[in-house]
Amino acid sequence: MTMRPGPGLVLFVTAVLLLAVTSWAPADPTVQVTVNDIGGGLFEYDLVVDNMTGTQPLSGLNILHASSVFGLDEFSSVGAPPGWDFLPPFPPGLDELDYFSLVSSTDIPVGGSLGGFSFESPKDPATLTGGDFAMEVIGSDCACQIAIPGPPTAILLGVSLAVLFLAGFARRGLDRNSPVNPRTGASAP
């Protein structure tokens, strides 16, 4: 006799996985990126720095591989929000695009966000691979670099396992109602 998990167990495991996935909240700032194809082989990357869960105001944003990945240099089209400026990459020596606040009153406060960071690049976003779009922010209080985190691998793994788990039980439910035995291929009497 084969024991199958009941619907209560399936719901319980699903609820636990969803709770684990949705309870993750980053404690560091994040950056939202939108990309627009502006034609002529160029893409405009628009960035919004979100410091809603940060622990200190932010006075800088660094795009780490601006030259080597995005093809930026001192002649590239770059935009900064009011009260901010930037230092473009100077290849081959300086690979970063560094944005910085001109005065502390334009820093991004804890609980706030700021858009207006942008650059044009020939880099198609569909060709970006892991680590290409590395960024960090600069904390105003510590004058230190804070890496912008991606979603943890554990969260992605949890979501994947939840989907596989639910798909497996859905398949078993379909097999149970099938007139053909999935193990032997024989038709049910």
CA 25 to chain centre: 13
Calpha distance 189→180 (Å, rounded):
9
* 97-132 pLDDT, tens digit each: 999 999 999 999 999 999 999 999 999 999 998 888
* 31-59 pLDDT, tens digit each: 999 999 999 999 999 999 999 989 999 99
Assess contact for 35 and 120: CB atoms under 8 A: no
Calpha distance 27→30 (Å, rounded):
9
For residue 163, is pLDDT > 60? no
For residue 188, is pLDDT > 60? no
Kindly list the domain boundaries of the chain, sorted by start residue.
30-147
Q: What is the pLDDT of residue 58?
A: 97
Assess contact for 101 and 57: CB atoms under 8 A: no
Looking at residues 148-165, what average pLDDT do you find?
A: 50
Look at domain 30-147 and name its CATH class.
mainly beta
Q: What is the pLDDT of residue 18?
A: 43
Calpha distance 80→90 (Å, rounded):
18
